[in-house]
Structure formats: structure tokens, C-alpha cells
Amino acid sequence: MIESSQPIDISRMRIEVPPHPQWPPLNDRQLRQAKSRIRELLQAQNAVLVAHYYTAAELQELAEETGGCVADSLEMARFGAAQEAETLVVCGVKFMGETAKILNPEKRVLMPDLNATCSLDEGCPADEFSRFCDQHPDHTVVVYANTSAEVKARSDWVVTSGIALPIVKYLADRKEKILWAPDKHLGRYVQRLTGVEMLLWQGSCVVHEEFKSVALERLRRLHPDAAVLVHPESPESVIEQADVVGSTTALIRAVEEMKNDTFIVATDGGIFHKMRQLAPQKNLIEAPTAGEGATCQSCAHCPWMGMNAIQNLEQVLLSGGNEITIEPAIRERAVVPIQRMLDFASTHM
């Protein structure tokens, strides 16, 4: 039983993290051939690829070469909703595929692997979350996009990292009390910047949680001219050292636009592909993930994003399997807070 007004302790929840990487690399010839087969399949099925910046470089390239998109989670949702194609193939994690389906119920939405989840989504089960909301009926429920369709259906607003701050500011101006889930780090960051009291669910991202502040301080001393770019799912002590805190798109833009030659980047390493494409002359360094006395170097790569590969993308297009389905009653409720976010984005950003 969850105590009223107490933050939820999700530490007892065991989150299974899959091994990474899961797919062997293809040689140049295999990759060329697979890409050309996938291009034909996409065209024959009137399908587009919608990929996240954390997916493998070859998937990002293929998405762009075939008229799809590579983006952050907000832009992925907007792109999918504006598409004419009958099929969206979402290369990312499950909440991204579900959001695409919720916004486009008439379209077929496929994913290379339906088990590609997210620790934030896993750490926020809909039944417990719903009980938490029931205990605080006077609060406006704001949930991060990294949640299941059921959790979104229980919310008033859905936000992504790219739009969380302006939406919470807007709600704060209306004197609304906020219940926030599931990422405690992003929640605390938004709370600090807006000064709003927020009830925080205690979820976290297993990838960003790994960035270590003491090692980052040392690295900054070695590169005093480097700008530090941090995704707000990182711990507070890492965020405090950032020159820029923002969504994946904001961090990419910073590399392009800032004068610095060197950047220390605290987010999933998949983002380096787009950063190198847009700013090949810049020097990019991964923020450290090994803590004091660590015997191994944990890697800043999302194991669930790593479940997307050229091989299972081709399989899914051939078989038509791995289709996202959402119960109509859940979809009907979940679309409201997602659409609210998109409407806010089109009028305020």
C-alpha cells in the first residue's frame, strides 16, 4: 500500500536490463544489400521509418535516405502525425511506437522489437501509478512521454524533455499543483527551474543514472575549454556541471551553434552520429560513467535502443509482425494529454 503524500519507492521493482549489443555488425556488402532490400520493402508498403537519435547509425542513415526522420521523442510524435504513409516503422523504444499508434490509429505501426522498453516505463506500472494519482486528486498529473499508454491515459499532460519546462511553467502560472512521473531527475530539474512544488515519482533512466559527477569534474579539469552538455535524465550533481541541459535535439543544436571546439556529452552515445554529421570539426568526448573504484566501464548506451537493428527491421517488414496495438478505451484517453502537448508545442514553441 502506498502512503499518501509519500514519494513512491520503486527500489523494490526489479528492472530486467537486456544484454547489449544484441546484433552482430554486418560487413559492408551485407549492409548495402540489406539496406537496398529494406528500401524496396518500405516503398512497396508505403512505409516510413521514424528513428530516434540513440539508434544505430545505419538505421538513422536509412531513415533519412528514405524520407523518414531521425529526431527526439517530441519530433518523432509530430512527424508521425503529419505523415501520409500507411505504415510507420518506429525504430526506438516501445513508448515511441505506442505514441505513434495513439496519434495515428488508422495507420499500421511496426517496431523491429516490441520488447524494446525503457527503465522509466518499466518503473511506473499503471496500477500503482493510478493509485498514487487517486491519493492526490487535487494535483494536475504530468507524465513524461517515457511511459506506457495506460499511464498516459491516467494523465492530464504528457511532456517530453524538449517541452517539459514550458508546460510546467504554464501550469505553475495557473497555480496548479503538480504530480510528476516517472523520472525523478528530470522532475527535480524542472522543479528547481520553475520553483513549483511537485510530487515526484521516483523513477530513473538506467543509462543516464550512470553518469558520475566526480569523474566529470576531473574530466572538465583536463578540458577546461570544453562545454558540458547534459540530458536532464542525469543525476542532479551531473546537471549542476552543465553548460547546456536539454533534450537530444537541444544538445545536438548546441554542438552546431556553440563556439567551443570540444564538448563533453552526458547522454546516450548514439547521439554522436548526428553530432558528427552536423559538426565534423568538433571534438566530442563521452561523459564518464565509471564511478570511484569501478572495475568495469559501464557504457552510455541504452540496451533497449540497441534492440533495433538492420536485421530485425528487415524481418519485421517481411513478416508484418511486431505491430503495435492499443486498446481503444486506453487510446481514447491517452490521446488527449498527448494532443494537448502537441497543441501547446505548435502555439508556444
Give the residues lining the site for ligand 13P (CB under 6 A): 72-74, 146, 160-162, 205, 231, 233, 247-248
C-alpha cell at 299: 557504457
Torsions phi, psi for 21 (to 5 deg) = -80, 160
How many CB atoms are located within 10 Å of the residue 301 CB? 17
Nearer to ligand 13P, 38 or 228 (CB): 228
Q: What character string, x for contact with ligand SF4 (CB under 6 A) and - otherwise, covers 77-96?
A: ----------------x---
Q: Rounded to an integer, what distance in angstroms lies between the CA atom of residue 25 and that of residue 197?
A: 47
Residues binding ligand SF4: number (CB under 6 A):
14
Give the one residue of 38, 70, 76, 120 binding ligand SF4; rule: CB under 6 A.
120
Give the one residue of 48, 71, 90, 118 binding ligand SF4; rule: CB under 6 A.
118
User: Do residues 339 and 99 make contact, with C-beta atoms less than 8 angstroms apart?
Assistant: no
Nearer to ligand SF4, 118 or 345 (CB): 118
Give the one residue of 205, 239, 330, 338 binding ligand SF4; rule: CB under 6 A.
205
C-alpha cell at 80: 508521425
Nearer to ligand 13P, 182 or 288 (CB): 182
| Shortest distance, position 106 Cβ to ligand SF4, whole Å | 27
| Shortest distance, position 66 Cβ to ligand 13P, whole Å | 21
Stretch that binds ligand SF4, among 29-37, 55-63, 206-214, 221-229 (CB under 6 A): 206-214
| Shortest distance, position 253 Cβ to ligand 13P, whole Å | 12
Asked, as a colleague might, if the bond just before 21 is cis with ω within 30 of 0, I would say yes
Q: Rounded to an integer, what distance in angstroms lies between the CA atom of residue 142 and that of residue 136?
A: 13
Using CB under 6 A as the binding rule, whether residue 10 contacts ligand SF4 is answered as: no
Sites for ligand SF4 among residues 171-200 (CB under 6 A): none
Q: Rounded to an integer, what distance in angstroms lies between the CA atom of residue 11 and that of residue 166?
A: 30
Q: What residues contact residue 97 under an 8 Å CB cut-off, 6+ apart? A: 90, 109, 110, 111, 114, 324
Stretch that binds ligand SF4, among 38-46, 74-82, 283-291, 302-310 (CB under 6 A): 302-310
Using CB under 6 A as the binding rule, whether residue 289 contacts ligand SF4 is answered as: no
Torsions phi, psi for 79 (to 5 deg) = -60, -50
Q: Rounded to an integer, what distance in angstroms lies between the CA atom of residue 153 and that of residue 266?
A: 31
Q: Rounded to an integer, what distance in angstroms lies between the CA atom of residue 294 and that of residue 288?
A: 11
C-alpha cell at 225: 575549454
Strand-by-strand arrangement of the 283-286 sheet: 244-245, 227-230, 262-266, 283-286
Q: How would you classify the pairing of strands 69-71 and 244-245?
A: unpaired
Nearer to ligand 13P, 146 or 213 (CB): 146
Question: Counting beta carbons within 10 angstroms of the beta carbon of residue 220, is it exposed (0 to 12), middle (13 to 18) or buried (19 or more)?
Answer: middle
Instruction: Look at residue 72 and give the partner it binds from ligand 13P, ligand SF4, none, a contact being a CB closer than 5 to 8 Å depending on partner kind.
Output: ligand 13P
Give the one residue of 268, 288, 312, 322 binding ligand SF4; rule: CB under 6 A.
268
Torsions phi, psi for 116 (to 5 deg) = -75, 95
Using CB under 6 A as the binding rule, whether residue 216 contacts ligand SF4 is answered as: no
| Shortest distance, position 52 Cβ to ligand SF4, whole Å | 8
Instruction: Look at residue 161 and give the partner it binds from ligand SF4, ligand 13P, none, a contact being a CB closer than 5 to 8 Å depending on partner kind.
Output: ligand 13P
List interacting residues with ligand SF4 (CB under 6 A). 93, 118-120, 146, 205-208, 233, 268, 302, 304-305
